[in-house]
Amino acid sequence: MNARRQPPYNKTQTPAEHCTNLSCLLLRLLQSYWSADQASTSGRASDAELGRTALLVGDSPTFPHALQAALRQAELQPAIYAAVQPQHLGWSIRDILRSIRNAHAKHHAIIQPLRTQAGVALPEAARVTMSICLDASGAALDQRSEHRDDCSHVVVLDDMFSEAERCQVLDWLTAPGWDHSQGPPEARWERSCVDREGDSVTWGVRPEVLAALQHEPPPSLVAIQSRLADLYPHFHICYMPAAAMQDEDEVEGGLSPFVGNAVLHGEEYSWHIDADPAQVDVESPWARHFGLYYNREAGKPLFVSMLMYLDADWPEHFNAETMFLDPDTDAGVFVRPRAGRLVLMDQDVPHRISAPSLAAGRARYSLVWKLVFVPKVASLFEEQTPTLSLRHRGASLQPFGSATGPPASLKLRSAA
């Protein structure tokens, strides 16, 4: 598991160490000029806001492709490549870059805000039941090639939606009055989900149903998304743009920021992570826009999954808990299914489902959102790691496993 924290590219090397052609020479000059422009204005917050952009002057249509190939060969961070246009005359470098990046994000649908509704209040009984950090590592590198302490987060929120809202979502995904002892209805579900390549397929919601869930969601779903946005006001909470995270020439169809699960007794599930920004396709629009980075890097979008349990009741002996692993200590925590419960987790925390017991006699249903939390103001997060912890709401964060400290400090001592 720890291998995922090794850099997929070399962050410590500069263009000057690799440049052997005109493309890299120009990039070196551009970086020098852009660094000087940053120093004379608002400093490092600009990095988080504008990212890496190569601004070209001239009319050669092949030069951006040559520059992009040179960067790939040198194993450097991806970038957006754009040429100065006549309408840019008289603009500052900063305004040109901001305009280019906004156009790039719009063209590739990189930012897809959740559909929300004003005036949706948190339920009075809503509360933080658990807020933990685990899977700690001091080996994560930020974009300045500096090591930073790092750990993943899991937050459990209870009574976040009503019984009527739960029923509406489950009925929408299955059918009103459906007998769940039969398994999910095949008109809306299919065996298509796997935790890892090579695993047996399990029940998941059909792509056309997931697409409708995003673009024509039921009112209860909009209400839940609105409450989530209220809990994290410092972020633009967006659907994960799965298509923008792949090579444009290899995009698969039917990608969705939602996953529906109907887990059954006898099925097997594997430990996995949902995603990591360090593993996004280097040729993707997302990588060119935000670069490759580790989750929770200051000023960068945070990859988050949100799980909603959909069953009205789920007794303890039915099992089917969601389990979270701390790889360094081979220990973990689990969360039981419960009506009204949402689970938020960093997408790079290892987790898996446990299968229902024979006594359950039916599927355990859940719905998962794949999200990105984009900082609203980059400078607020330039020196602060983006987090799910809800400390701004008064919730305490409890360390678990490797996040409690170095192993040497945890050794038990004999009584004197």
pLDDT at res. 310:
98
| pLDDT tens digits, one per residue of 119-132 | 999 999 999 999 99
Residues 47 and 128 grouped into a single domain:
no
The whole-number pLDDT of residue 194 equals: 85
CATH number for 178: 2.60.120.620
pTM of the model: 0.84
Q: Is residue 29 part of a domain?
A: yes
Q: Do 320 and 246 fall into the same domain?
A: yes
pLDDT range class, residue 80, cuts 50, 70, 90: confident
* pLDDT value of residue 39: 37
| Strands 112-113, 127-141: pairing kind | unpaired
* 351 inside domain: yes
pLDDT class for 172, splitting at 50, 70, 90?
Answer: very high
Of 152, 85, 115, the C-alpha closest to 324 is 152
Residue ending a domain, choose from 107, 139, 162: 107
Residue 2 belongs to a domain: no
Q: Quick check: is 6 in a domain?
A: no
Which one of 88, 107, 126 terminates a domain?
107
With H, G, I as helix, E, B as strand and everything else as coil, classify residue 16.
helix
Task: State whether 100 and 136 are in the same domain.
Answer: no
Q: What is the pLDDT of residue 409?
A: 47
Residues 93 and 131 in one domain: no
Rounded-to-integer distance, Cα 309 and Cα 363, Å: 12
6 versus 226: which is more confidently predicted? 226
Domain that holds residue 250: 117-405
Q: Is the pLDDT of residue 177 over 60?
A: yes
Angle at 361 between CA 355 and CA 364, to 5 degrees: 50
Q: Are residues 280 and 358 in the same domain?
A: yes
Token output for 316: 């303890």
- DSSP secondary structure code for residue 272 in this structure: B
Specify whether 157 is located in the same domain as 23.
Answer: no
Report the number of distinct structural domains present in the chain: 2
The model's pLDDT over 284-319, given as tens digits with 9 standing for 90+, comes to: 999 989 988 899 988 899 999 999 999 999 999 999
Q: What are phi and psi of 215, to 5 degrees?
A: -95, -20
36-56 mean pLDDT: 51
Do residues 221 and 94 share a domain?
no
User: Which one, of 227, 213, 218, 212, lies nearest residue 117 by Cα?
Assistant: 227
123 and 103 co-located in one domain: no
**Domain termination site, one of 107, 138, 168:** 107
Asked if residue 411 is part of any domain, the answer here is no
- C-alpha to C-alpha distances, 206 to 27, 114, 211, 256, 322, nearest whole angstrom: 45, 21, 9, 10, 22
50 and 126 inside one domain: no
Residue 364 has pLDDT above 80, yes or no: yes
83 and 199 housed in the same domain: no
- Please tell me the least confidently modeled range out of 49-58, 376-385, 406-415: 406-415
Torsion of CA 104, 106, 112, 118, to 10 degrees: 130
**49/130 same-domain check:** no
Give CB contacts under 8 A, 24+ apart, made by 58-62.
58/83, 59/83
Q: Please count the other Cβ atoms lying within 10 Å of the Cβ belonging to residue 152.
A: 24
DSSP 165-218: HHHHHHHHHS-TT--GGG-S-TTTEEEEE-SSTTSPPEEEE-HHHHHHHHHS--
Element (H, E) at 28: helix 22-39
Are 63 and 158 members of one domain? no
Rounded-to-5 percentages of helix, strand, coil across the chain = 30, 25, 45
In a domain, 416, yes or no: no
pLDDT tier, 45 (very low <50, low <70, confident <90, very high otherwise)? very low
Classify residue 325: in a domain, yes or no: yes
Distance (Å, rounded) from C-alpha 288 to C-alpha 297?
16
pLDDT digits (tens, 9 = 90+) for 311-356: 999 999 999 999 999 999 999 999 999 999 999 999 999 999 999 9
Q: What is the amino acid identity at position 298?
A: A
Band of the pLDDT at 407, cuts 50, 70, 90? Answer: low
Is residue 371 domain-resident? yes
